[in-house]
Amino acid sequence: MSGQQSTLRLGSTAPDFEAETSNGKISFHEYIGDSWAILFSHPDDFTPVCTTELGAFAKLEPEFTKRNVKLIGLSANNTDSHKAWIKDIDEVSGSKLSFPIVSDPERKVAHAYDMIDYQDATNVDDKGVQFTIRSVFIIDPKKKIRLILAYPASTGRNTAEVLRVVDSLQLGDKHRITTPINWVPGDDVIVHPSVSNEEAKTLFPKFRIIKPYLRLSPLDATNDN
């Protein structure tokens, strides 16, 4: 892994790394194993927005676990700092944060994942070195990157949206569907353009044609065969 910013795209293999975390040393790909993973960075421990975010991810962790998704945080702080801060997070949020937070003071992982900020001059450590931004990577069991988000330091993320994308990706891997704007589980899905109308009659018996290129269908237990 070099110190250069890398260019990661959807479909890239998530760079592997070894690092200290709040739960001990990990090898990233080994940690993921056969699961999905969400690697998400925050700018700095003991800061307000980050505290609310980490607490929210910790409280939603059971929903990620149900979907075979492991969470892992990251910032440029060290492990002692993470451990002390986790106590605050749990106190403030009523959470029980148990997923690891990577300690990346040298920004090695941050550079590999392009998590460095050039925009916010206040998002720097006491030596003026940039902190990480609020990045999110959804990584599948083949270690392929399936989603990349980058939020500014000023704006907390939306954990429900991250979970929603996991649901959409996992459903799309299982069925020949895509999901429309603002879709949430239970809503109609879009029949994938590669599915002919003839095939759709079998795969999606209740599908309806809105336009030749836009076909909607409910998705229920009957689609699981």
50 annotated active-site? yes
90 exposure class (CB count in 10 Å sphere: 0-12, 13-18, 19+) = middle
SS (H, E, C) 96-124: CCCCCEEECCCCHHHHHCCCECCCCCCCE
Pick the binder of ligand BEZ from 21, 81, 123, 130 (CB under 6 A).
123
Rg (CA), the chain: 20
Binding mask 160-199 for ligand BEZ (x = CB under 6 A): ----------------------------------------
Catalytic residue among 8, 37, 50, 133: 50
Number of residues that bind ligand BEZ (CB under 6 A): 9
CB of 182 to ligand BEZ, least distance (A): 27
Q: What is the distance between the alpha carbons of residues 94 and 71, in angstroms, rounded to a whole number? A: 18
Nearer Cβ to ligand BEZ (122/225): 122
- Verify binding: residue 116, ligand BEZ, rule CB under 6 A: no
Pick the binder of ligand BEZ from 14, 49, 56, 191 (CB under 6 A).
49
Interface region with ligand BEZ, contact rule CB under 6 A, candidates 42-50, 178-186, 188-196, 207-215: 42-50
Residues near ligand BEZ, by CB under 6 A: 43-44, 47-50, 122-123, 153
* Catalytically active residues, by annotation: 50
